[in-house]
Amino acid sequence: MTTITTLPLRTPITAGESLDSWIDALARRNDTSPREVLRALGIDHLGQSIRQLVDELDSTQLRRIEAATGLPPHRLDAATGPAVPGIERLSMHCSRFCPRCLAEADGRWQLSWRSSWAMVCGRHRLLLHDTCPGPDCRATPRVQIVGGATAPPASTCSRPISRSWLRCGGELFAAADLPAPDEVLDAQSWIDQLMAAARAPGPDPAHATLTDLHLVVAWLLRLDRAAAIAAARAINPRRHATPPQPRNGSPPDLDAALTAALLIRARTVLGDDEASAIDELRALVTKHPNPQRVSPPEFTKRHFVVMPSQFPNRYLRAVDADLPGAVRLRMRTITASAAIPRADGAARIRMLPQLFWPDWAGRLLPVAGGFHTDLFRAALSVLLTVPGDPSQRMDTHAGLLNPRVTAANLSITLQGFDKLPSGSALTDVLVLLCRITEHLDQHGTPIDYQRRREQIPAETITWDQWRDLACSVGAHPGKHRQGRLRHAQRHLHQLLSGADLADHRHPLAFRSPNDRGTFVEFTTAMAAPLRRALNEHAESILVNLAIDEPLTWSPPTDLADGLALPGIDTGDLDPDKVSRLVVDEHRSSREAAEVLGVHLEHVRIAMERLDQPRRQWAPHAAPAAWLREQHAARLFTREFFDREYIQAGRSLNDIAADTGIGRHIITRFAKQAGISLRRARAPFRIDPVWLREQYCAQLRSTADIAVELGTEQMRVNNALHQHGIPVRPQGVASRTEMIMTFDHLPPIIRASVEGTLHGWIRLHRFRITMAFPSLGTAAGYLGIKSNSLLHQLRLLERHVGAPLFHRSRRGTAHKPTPHGQTLLRELDNEHVQPLMTAALHACNALAMPDAKTLAHAVREAMTPPRNPGLLKPFGDIPVGRLRMTRTTLTLLRHLTTTDAEEFYGHGLHQCTSIQHGTLYPLLRSLEQAGWLTSRDEDEADWLAGAPPGCGPGRRRTYYRLTPNGRRAALRELNTPRKRQNSENPGATNP
């Protein structure tokens, strides 16, 4: 229990006086020490520190002192500690002083002198002193409560002199005057005003400024200590030379002059003039560049992030130019609302389409820039989630908005703006993005894009709806359901939800670049009526989903005011000019873009605004057919048929002629209306036996028969089908050449020309061919391919029923068989020649070759084969030597190991798998070199082997290995071979 002694003598406390000063006065009045006074007042557990006395007495103790000393209640509140800790900073462990005030007030100390922001005495316009003016002292006054038996004299330095009970006793009121410069007085009055404003009830920006003031002052000191000290010396030339050491975590104990020097600068940085504050900061930071750090150098980020004053904003704006684009966007350092991010960009996703609003995309898309349009628009949308987002990554919200956009896409987009020749494009784009973000955050959007992305189905329009919609406005619905229908669904989806269809996760995603191309073509070339109809359909979708929102929206255009954006306002493109280029001159969008000097996408956006005319369709095209169908459905009602067809007895043909609608359509509607139709005519009877005789035996044409019967050709055709009579191919079978007979001609020629169209041509060609030594030379003369000629001659052989010639082999000409000779003879017959001439058309009537042509052909056909190379003969075996290729060795190995005596080409091919094209020349070479002999297949066998109804095919040549050939083959096969040995004539040649 503390005992309180009522003091015998009392003394009043003066205005603004500090508690410790008044205690001193009481002690002097009662002739005791301040410590004794405190003890008498029941304050005995304090330490020695005056700072504790002033700052830490609680209100119970204060009330007790007031009661004991006869002061009115709460009088001591004004004489103690800070009302708002952290703002007024009444926390110096010592006190400054004005010597004149001390002299005038009888040594009473002002509380305000304990404030670290106290620099001058406003009354005397003097800088406050920090230390005892004694020549060897320099102690800071009023640190400890003085003990002992008596009170120290007022206004003297009470610093104990070491190892003695004596004190300094320097007379503080005698200190020299330090005139304060005007700017220091201004800084002091600025601080005083801030404190007065902060003390007033209610929030005030002064509060935030004072809270951050010590941090800013400490930063200014660390940033440029030398400059600060030089400025302090200018204010007080006699100040202590030793720079003060700031203590960790607490405000530095600065002397009045240094405080003044720093506050003058801090006042610029934190004062009301924003522009000069930013300029000052920029100048300071430029001296100490550290662009990669967002928070100021020499400043802990932890403090910077929570600073309530204008300082972080101004600092960020000052360093804007040095920051990377992503940071500028995230912290909005280009705008007045620059701040350390705190909000979550995810909240904005609902307000964003996956593809940036088209008009705005046009204004941002550089006229000459390699941006991929879709990805550009997608990236811009994701960039709107970045401002104000605390995450370090730009693509934090890309996954929610558009997963296909990566951080790299975003960086490349920003870099793309930075690289534009205009230089400042990136800044203007960032400003716009920040403005749009701000608009979204403050006003929101009338459209909830996220809801639309979730609720609007992929199939926004069905096939039937689309066909009716397209045809009703004269547009083609497309031939199948995947084509224009899909594009229409995509267009509606993009219109409503701004979806990015390049994302393959979307059900309507583009399946190929070509698919995207046709979609772009579809949307840009859309005629105005179709566009309006689709917009109406889109609105009806919203109504059905109970979404009460406008169809489309985009941020207000005034957000771009004052900005030089890299793109163009597509609304400024002259629509007449675009229309002339694209609609009238049918130029591609790309060409139009070149002519107009804009980006391709700008033309597309402009085209979507054009009033493009609808196309005119041919009568059979889908829109016209649909219109006819609609017209027919309105016209051909049950009542119509009752009136016209049944009561008036008009025929369907009459109705068709009147209405201009096809009879088959009228028939369909009549059946739908439940009308039973009258049979048009009685069936026409044709006697089948007579018809078969006329058509098959007499070979009359159906047209001919129809004329005789007095009916239409189609009825005759129907009758043929009905009675199962085989119908001749149309046209060919009825031609004169097909039905001509030549009873007087030799049988071999009749067989060639009767019942065929081209028999005479084949005979003519056979005749010419036989004049030549080979098929190849003959075909060259006839101007056709050898294969074709061979085919024709085979056909001729098939008609004649016998082979007509022996094929040529190298060195020997082909020659006619006896049948062929007979045929050639008959062709020279004087009865036949005129017939042939008459049958040949001019183009086929080629004359027989002259002697010169034939001589040339013989030379060509009979040229011996190229000498395969001189190889050293075997010597003991009288056969020519050949180069041994791997294929040759394979063949020889087979020939020497098989049991058969004779071989033919196709059989060898089957056994050895050597291709025909290689095999036959090889066999010929071996034969010429004397390894093989050959004979043609027996004629009887050849003809007997032909399948029934076909020609006999190629005549086989049988080969046999000669004894010398066998020896030579075994010699070659047993010769060891080295690869790549060109010296050895028998080396393999792979």
Give least dist CB 103 to Zn ion, A. 9
Tell how strand 902-904 and strand 815-816 pair up: unpaired
Question: Of 99 and 803, which has the nearer Cβ to Zn ion?
Answer: 99
Amino acid letter, residue 981: N
**Nearest residue to 355 (alpha-carbon basis) of 373, 376, 378, 371:** 378
Instruction: Draw the binding track, 127-166, toward Zn ion (x: CB under 5 A; -: no contact).
Output: -----x-x--x-x-----------------x-x-------
Q: By CB under 5 A, is residue 723 in contact with Zn ion?
A: no
CB of 105 to Zn ion, least distance (A): 9
Q: Which strand (E) or helix (H) includes residue 805?
A: strand 805-806
Nearer Cβ to Zn ion (18/427)? 18
Closest approach of Zn ion to the CB of residue 83, in Å = 23
Torsion of CA 623, 624, 628, 631, to 10 degrees: 70
62, 87, 121, 598: which one contacts Zn ion (CB under 5 A)? 121
124 binding Zn ion? (CB under 5 A): yes
Say how many CA atoms lie within 13 Å of 789 toward its Cβ. 22
Report whether 449 contacts 493 (CB < 8 A). Answer: no
Q: What is the DSSP letter of 807?
A: P
Say whether residue 750 binds Zn ion (CB under 5 A): no
Give the pair of three-digit tokens for residue 329: 């966007």
The least distance separating Zn ion from the CB of residue 48, rounded to whole angstroms, comes to 18
Element (H, E) at 957: strand 957-961
Under the binding rule (CB under 5 A), the answer on residue 168 touching Zn ion is yes
- Does position 39 interact with Zn ion (CB under 5 A)? The reply is no
Residue 69 token pair: 């000393």
**Residues 264/268/273/274 CA torsion (nearest 10 deg):** -160
Q: Which two tokens stand for residue 919?
A: 């095999």
> Among 54-62, 125-133, 262-270, 374-382, which window interacts with Zn ion (CB under 5 A)?
125-133
Nearer to Zn ion, 133 or 246 (CB): 133
Dmax over CA atoms of the chain, in Å, equals 174
Kind of pairing between the strands at 126-127 and 120-121: antiparallel
Q: By C-beta, is 54 or 180 nearer to Zn ion?
A: 180
Residue number with CB closer to Zn ion (97 or 645): 97
Q: How far is the CB of 133 from Zn ion (least distance, A)?
A: 8
Nearer to Zn ion, 168 or 175 (CB): 168
Q: What is the CB neighbour count within 10 angstroms for residue 338?
A: 21
The nearest distance, CB 131 to Zn ion, in angstroms, is: 8
How far apart, in Å, are the Cα atoms of 903 and each of 650, 940, 944?
Answer: 83, 18, 19
Coil, helix or strand at residue 179: strand
Q: If binding is defined by CB under 5 A, does position 100 make contact with Zn ion? A: yes
**CA–CA separation, 629 vs 608, rounded Å?**
31
Closer residue to Zn ion (CB): 132 or 706: 132
**Closest distance to Zn ion from the beta carbon of 266 (Å):** 24
Please count the residues of this chain forming the interface with Zn ion, following the rule CB under 5 A. Answer: 14
175 versus 582: smaller Cβ distance to Zn ion: 175
Q: Which stretch binds Zn ion (CB under 5 A): 98-106, 219-227, 341-349, 938-946?
A: 98-106
Contact assessment for residue 69 and residue 12, using Cβ atoms and an 8 Å cutoff = no
- Least Cα distance to 603 among 634, 578, 629, 630 occurs for 578
Stretch that binds Zn ion, among 96-104, 337-345, 371-379, 430-438 (CB under 5 A): 96-104
* 168/351 with CB nearer Zn ion: 168
Q: Smaller CB distance to Zn ion: residue 136 or 983?
A: 136
Binding Zn ion by CB under 5 A: which of 107, 170, 566, 623? 170
SS3 of 94-147:
CCCECHHHHHHCCCCCEHHHHCCCCCEECCCCEECECCCCCCCCCCCCCCECCC
- Taking CB under 5 A as the binding criterion, the range among 28-36, 99-107, 550-558, 922-930 that sits at the site for Zn ion is 99-107
Distance CA 965, CA 969 (A): 6
Give the shortest CB-193-to-Zn ion separation in angstroms.
19
Residue 960: its H or E element: strand 957-961
Q: Is 101 in the site for Zn ion (CB under 5 A)?
A: yes
Residues 535 and 552: their CA atoms lie apart, in Å, by: 10
Q: Considering beta carbons, is residue 103 or 987 the nearer one to Zn ion?
A: 103
Q: Is 520 in the site for Zn ion (CB under 5 A)?
A: no
The single residue among 98, 120, 603, 932 that binds Zn ion, judged by CB under 5 A, is 98
Minimum CB distance to Zn ion, residue 197 (Å): 24
Cβ proximity to Zn ion, 139 vs 800, nearer residue: 139
User: Minimal distance in Å, beta carbon 130 to Zn ion?
Assistant: 12
Question: Looking at beta carbons only, is 260 or 270 nearer to Zn ion?
Answer: 260
Structure tokens at 662: 């096809």
Task: Answer yes or no: are the C-beta atoms of 42 and 4 closer than 8 Å.
Answer: yes
Cross-strand bridge partners of residue 935:
958
Q: Give min distance, CB of 145 to Zn ion, in A.
A: 17
Q: Report the nearest approach of Zn ion to the CB of residue 132 (Å).
A: 3
Provide, rounded to whole angstroms, the least separation between the CB of residue 34 and Zn ion: 18
Number of Cβ within a 10 Å radius of residue 847: 6
* Nearer of residues 100 and 700 to Zn ion, judged by Cβ: 100
Shortest spacing between CB 126 and Zn ion, in angstroms? 6
Question: What radius of gyration, in Å, describes the C-alpha atoms of the chain?
Answer: 57
Rounded CA separation 631/633 (Å): 5
Stretch that binds Zn ion, among 95-103, 251-259, 431-439, 840-848 (CB under 5 A): 95-103
Residue keyed to tokens 């640190």: 143
341 in contact with Zn ion (CB under 5 A) = no
Query: Is 92 in contact with 69 (CB distance < 8 Å)?
Result: no
- What residues make contact with Zn ion under the rule CB under 5 A? 98, 100-101, 121, 123-124, 132, 134, 137, 139, 157, 159, 168, 170
